[in-house]
């Protein structure tokens, strides 16, 4: 059976049919003889949905065998870890497995394709799996895109998510931000700005369009700030630096030597206390 044209890349069926399985290769094996794959792309499993699948398995059994490779008398899961975990919750003693002779270089690809087909991966997991596949097989973005059935720009955008700071990656993994939000944030040139906008977007439920607008506004404000700083008299630039060192806080001066304003910024009660102590402490 050939993979359908227009389907997801080579497809899981096509990968399996490269090495036809013999009749009777679906076995019932002890659940204790099956091992999870440490390189499984999916790292998190929704407990509620896992419990729902477990209840279904209790009533109807496992309808689709778990794809495995036999190694040293044990069975390594290639695809179907979610079903396996649910089977353990259902306290099954045996599980049906489909034997595959996939080599080590094919196992990661099979696992990734299976998860993408079932849409089981969050954007960060998918990006990490694609990067792992590229390194494992020394693939280009073009080559990996053809294997998993996604365009090269989609693969490139997915990989960009891995450049985000860990707090932002966690928000994307948890579904509080989408991959679209992540792509906008990946275009910012500062981790602090990425985290700031990510937290605000997650808290206030911003759309991707709103995120783009806020990012542009932030760029505009910083550009104006840089312009103002560049126009300051050298004496005021030196004064700004001295005040920052003295107060241990962000200080911005705008205006001229005759007229202007000084803005002192703080981000916590402790920082405010430090500013107060620097200005009005007993030793002043």
- Residues 114, 12: contact at Cβ < 8 Å? yes
Please give the Cα distance from 137 to 133 (Å, whole number): 6
Residue 99 token pair? 């034997």
Query: What is the C-alpha separation between 247 and 224, in angstroms, rounded?
Result: 24
What is the SS3 assignment for 76? Answer: strand
- Tokens describing residue 246: 């003295």
The distance from CA 241 to its chain's CA centroid, rounded to whole angstroms, is 39
- C-alpha to C-alpha distance for 111 and 174, rounded to whole angstroms: 21
Name the residues annotated as catalytic: 81
In 3-state terms, what secondary structure has residue 41?
A: coil
Please give the Cα distance from 170 to 93 (Å, whole number).
Answer: 35
* CA-based radius of gyration for the chain: 27
The DSSP 8-state label assigned to residue 131 in this structure reads H
């Amino acid at each position: 059976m050939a993979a359908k044209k227009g389907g997801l890349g080579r497809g899981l069926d096509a990968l399996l049919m490269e090495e036809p399985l013999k009749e009777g290769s679906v076995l019932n094996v002890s659940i204790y003889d099956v091992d999870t794959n440490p390189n499984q792309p999916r790292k998190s499993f929704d407990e509620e949905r896992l419990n729902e699948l477990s209840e279904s398995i209790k009533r109807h059994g496992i309808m689709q065998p778990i794809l495995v490779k036999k190694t040293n008398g044990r069975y390594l899961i290639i695809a179907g870890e979610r079903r396996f975990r649910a089977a353990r919750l259902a306290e099954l003693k045996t599980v049906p497995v489909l034997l595959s002779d996939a080599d080590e270089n094919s196992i990661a690809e099979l696992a990734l394709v299976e998860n993408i087909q079932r849409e089981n991966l969050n954007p960060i997991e998918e990006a990490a799996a694609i990067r792992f596949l590229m390194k494992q097989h020394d693939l280009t973005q073009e080559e990996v895109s053809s294997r998993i059935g996604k365009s090269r720009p989609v693969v490139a955008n997915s990989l960009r998510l891995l450049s985000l700071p860990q707090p932002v990656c966690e928000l994307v993994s948890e579904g509080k931000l989408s991959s679209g939000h992540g792509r906008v944030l990946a275009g910012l040139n500062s981790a602090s700005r990425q985290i700031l906008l990510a937290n605000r977007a997650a808290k206030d439920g911003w759309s991707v369009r709103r995120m783009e607008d806020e990012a542009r506004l932030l760029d505009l404000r910083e550009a104006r700030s840089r312009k103002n700083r560049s126009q300051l008299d050298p004496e005021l630039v030196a004064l700004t630096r001295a005040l920052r060192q003295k107060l241990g806080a962000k200080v911005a001066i705008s205006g001229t030597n005759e007229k202007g304003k000084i803005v002192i910024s703080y981000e916590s009660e402790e920082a405010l206390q430090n500013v107060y102590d620097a200005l009005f402490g007993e030793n002043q």
